[in-house]
């Protein structure tokens, strides 16, 4: 969106990696995993299967010919006068897969960061919060040219290299011919193919792809997201800009559809037009929230005009309180 008849202002330099990855502010946070996953290491997450490992899970009676004597639980044996052996949970690493939407609609922004840059900041936060010995992080980048895959690896060097690749990904204006707009539902299906072990899946998008005008039918990506949430813990990071929610009174503006390139001049001085726009935007965001809730994903909303670190910190604390609640206890409020 640009205002007609105003002198162009020189654009500010794009933020660098250090601006989008302030690990000092996130060092003391920990992303709490509340579901039973295949990613388990050093007792940090709950185990699925008993097996060789280091996390105690209980004791049982000794079975002659099946159990090793070195696994004897002598304390329980002394108390019960019956031979017992220790059981432990298998040590497995947590694998996190990210789907980052880099479609043309994510290149819009009227605050310090645009939506694409804020999505990279969210990836940096998830990478630092899930970092740990043996944990792995992989990503799929949804660009106008197609789906780009980053294999799941561990280590800070891998995370920083992936962030640099996300920051340097071509934008829609960098192509000679506008490519076919990507499909979020197909990208989610791609995540389902590569995420073979249960773990954490983070989807960073504005979730506007294929959103129907009628709020009754579900978005085309909801069914695939529901299948992902049935196997993995899914965190849906919704990225928005304030100008997508309401229009300011700035006179005549030219609106450009980033997906198709269509242009339309709108007079924002019309109060009724601004009210209709705000109501339609609120209905659209409510449609996204309902679809994410039905799919079973945890919803985190980030805006380009807010402190995204503070929003992520609040979400992490809310998840930590949720994980600490006894089973079956009702939860008040949302997890966004």
Q: Are residues 280 and 194 in the same domain?
A: yes
Cross-sheet strand order for the sheet of 298-303: 146-153, 136-143, 95-101, 200-205, 233-240, 298-303
Which 3 state secondary structure label does DSSP give 3? strand
Q: Are residues 59 and 180 in the same domain?
A: no
First to last CA, the chain: 28
Q: Are residues 61 and 164 in the same domain?
A: no
Q: Are residues 151 and 218 in the same domain?
A: yes
Residue 154 C-beta-side C-alpha neighbours within 13 Å: 11
Q: Is residue 128 part of a domain?
A: yes
The residue to which tokens 């910190």 are assigned: 313
Residue numbers of the domain that contains 71: 50-89
How many domains are there within the chain?
A: 2
Model confidence pLDDT, tens digit, residues 60-103: 888 887 787 888 889 889 999 999 988 765 445 788 999 999 88
Q: Is the pLDDT of residue 219 over 90?
A: yes
Q: Is residue 2 part of a domain?
A: no
Q: Is residue 60 part of a domain?
A: yes
Q: Are residues 102 and 210 in the same domain?
A: yes
Whether this model's pTM surpasses 0.85: no
Q: Is residue 248 part of a domain?
A: yes
Q: Is residue 55 part of a domain?
A: yes
Q: Are residues 54 and 194 in the same domain?
A: no
Model confidence pLDDT, tens digit, residues 128-164: 888 776 788 999 999 888 889 999 988 888 888 888 8
The packing angle between helices 115-129 and 156-167, to 10°, is: 170
Q: Are residues 161 and 232 in the same domain?
A: yes
User: How far is residue 172's CA from residue 80's CA, in Å, rounded to a whole number?
Assistant: 70
Q: Are residues 23 and 62 in the same domain?
A: no
Q: Are residues 225 and 269 in the same domain?
A: yes
What CATH number does residue 22 fall under? 3.40.50.410
Sign of the CA dihedral running 22, 23, 27, 31 = positive
Q: Are residues 116 and 154 in the same domain?
A: yes
């Amino acid at each position: 969106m640009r205002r007609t008849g105003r002198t162009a202002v020189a654009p500010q330099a794009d933020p660098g990696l250090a601006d989008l990855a302030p690990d000092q502010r996130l060092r003391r946070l920990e992303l709490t995993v509340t579901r039973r996953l295949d990613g388990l290491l050093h007792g940090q997450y709950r185990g699925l299967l008993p097996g060789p490992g280091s996390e105690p899970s209980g004791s049982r009676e000794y079975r002659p010919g099946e159990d090793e004597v070195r696994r004897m639980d002598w304390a329980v044996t002394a108390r019960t006068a019956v031979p017992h052996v220790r059981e432990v949970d298998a040590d497995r690493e947590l694998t996190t897969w990210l789907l980052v939407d880099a479609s043309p609609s994510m290149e819009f922004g009227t605050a310090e960061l645009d939506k694409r840059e804020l999505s990279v900041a969210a990836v940096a936060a998830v990478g630092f919060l899930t970092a740990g010995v043996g944990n792995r992080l992989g990503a799929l980048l949804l660009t106008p040219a197609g789906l780009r895959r980053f294999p799941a690896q561990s280590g800070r060097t891998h995370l920083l290299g992936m962030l640099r690749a996300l920051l340097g990904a071509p934008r829609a204006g960098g192509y000679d011919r506008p490519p076919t707009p990507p499909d979020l539902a197909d990208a989610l299906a791609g995540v389902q193919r590569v995420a073979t072990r249960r773990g954490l899946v983070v989807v960073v998008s504005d979730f506007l792809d294929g959103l129907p005008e009628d709020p009754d039918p579900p978005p085309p990506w909801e069914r695939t997201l529901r299948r992902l949430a049935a196997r993995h813990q899914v965190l849906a990071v919704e990225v928005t800009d304030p100008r997508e929610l309401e229009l300011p009174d700035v006179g005549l503006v030219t609106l450009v559809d980033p997906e198709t390139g269509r242009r339309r001049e709108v007079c924002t001085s019309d109060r009724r037009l601004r009210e209709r726009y705000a109501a339609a935007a609120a209905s659209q965001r409510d449609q996204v929230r309902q679809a994410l809730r039905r799919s079973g994903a945890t919803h985190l909303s980030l805006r380009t005009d807010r402190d995204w670190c503070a929003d992520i910190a609040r979400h992490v604390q809310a998840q930590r309180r949720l994980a600490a609640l006894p089973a079956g206890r009702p939860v008040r409020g949302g997890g966004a």
